[in-house]
Amino acid sequence: MIRKLLAAAAAAVALHGGALAQNTIKLGVVNIDTGPFAVSGAFVNDGAAFAVERLNAQGGALGRKYELIIQNHAGSPASAIAAASRLVEQQGVSFFTGLNPSGTSLAIASKMSAMNALFIDATAASDDLTGKNCGPNYFRVGITDGMQVNSFRELAKQSGIKSWDLMMADIAVGHDTAKRFTAAMQESGGGKINKTLFAPITASDLGSYIAQLLDKPAEGLLMYYPSSGGIALIKQQQPFKLFEKYKTVVSASMVNEILIGAHGDASVGLWSAQSYFWAMPGERNAAFVKAFEERYKRKPTYIDADAYMSFELVHQAILKAKST
């Protein structure tokens, strides 16, 4: 009899625990754990986890706490869709963010209506995501290619550069940026495009591309070669002093607080644009930076901040709608 009672009690506890788990609001992260973009994966996880911790410390939403579920994948569009599907269909996640280049975000976004979930993108920059491919289940908190190109256009105007070389990763965002920057220069008379190169983001040897840039270089160089690929490009050009051949060198997703430690002094003097920096003004940002630094013993990166803002956006939407 005692054994039966204990078994019944254990079953009741298990059922109660399952009910509690179901009562949480599940927030997801679709993250890349292999390949050139994996260098930034931990920062997405930290920003998302910090958001969940702080939101739960404030009481959660609608009497429920948040629960974080992370799903990793290999970085291809197919693996990204599979990871998002597992979050939604197997884990019961209704809202997720993640580390995604534009190609994987475009793939996931195309499936969001069928999943009946919301994707709040923290990293992808392609304008198409909220342009011609815009859908009701996709939102973003980071900067777009168009925003970055606008800053580059202003820099080009101020610098007086009359010709540009473009060195781009052969990915969606690389092609998008090249197209938009070329159009911006044509519209503003800000300089002609001398040459445009596209290299595989996984290339281990970029010597042939560096050689092409060294052959009659333009006055300015614009690069979009992100993550660990950008580290390789910056280090491999150094023996040839490629950057010294240009009056102005501008980069996107290459010179930031995540990657710069691996550059040594090879990226000194390069211009860059990003969505956030911890020293930005404002009391709310100062409080966020202080709390983040106390928790992780480092300053938040722009990826930490964008992942955090993704879930802050979800939280505010839930409170406003009084529903999930």
Given this model, what pLDDT does residue 253 score? 87
Given this model, what pLDDT does residue 308 score? 98
Task: Give the separation between CA 192 and CA 32, rounded to whole angstroms.
Answer: 37
- Predicted confidence (pLDDT) per residue in 23-67, tens digit: 999 999 999 998 888 889 999 999 999 999 999 999 999 999 999
Could you give the percent of the chain with pLDDT greater than 70?
93
Token pair in block for residue 262: 């691996």
- Predicted confidence (pLDDT) per residue in 247-278, tens digit: 999 998 889 899 989 998 999 999 988 889 99
> Has residue 19 got a pLDDT over 90?
no
219 phi/psi in degrees, rounded to 5? -80, -35
pLDDT band at 290 (very low <50, low <70, confident <90, very high): very high
Range in 15-29, 173-187, 205-219, 308-322 the model is least confident about: 15-29
DSSP state string for 230-286: HHHHHHHHGGGTGGGGSSEEEEESSSSTTTGGGTTTTTTT-EEE-S--TT---HHHH
Token pair in block for residue 113: 């209506």
Given this model, what pLDDT does residue 191 score? 83
Number of CB atoms found within 10 A of residue 41's CB:
22
Question: Which domains, ranges and CATH numbers included, belong to the chain?
Answer: 2-142+281-321 (3.40.50.2300), 145-273 (3.40.50.2300)
> Has residue 12 got a pLDDT over 70?
no
Give the DSSP letter of residue 86.
I
Given this model, what pLDDT does residue 22 score? 56
Class of residue 82 by CB neighbours under 10 A (exposed 0-12, middle 13-18, buried 19+): middle
CA distances from 67 to 18, 50, 100, 271 (A): 13, 12, 21, 39
DSSP state string for 175-197: HHHHHHHHHHHHHHT--EEEEEE
Orientation of helix 172-188 relative to helix 145-159, angle to 10°: 40
Orientation of helix 302-321 relative to helix 41-57, angle to 10°: 40
The mean per-residue pLDDT over the stretch 63-91 comes to 96
pLDDT band at 198 (very low <50, low <70, confident <90, very high): very high
**Average confidence score pLDDT of the chain:** 90
Given this model, what pLDDT does residue 36 score? 87
Token pair in block for residue 220: 């300015």
Strands (E), the chain: 25-32, 66-73, 95-98, 118-121, 138-140, 163-169, 192-199, 220-224, 248-252, 271-273
Given this model, what pLDDT does residue 138 score? 96
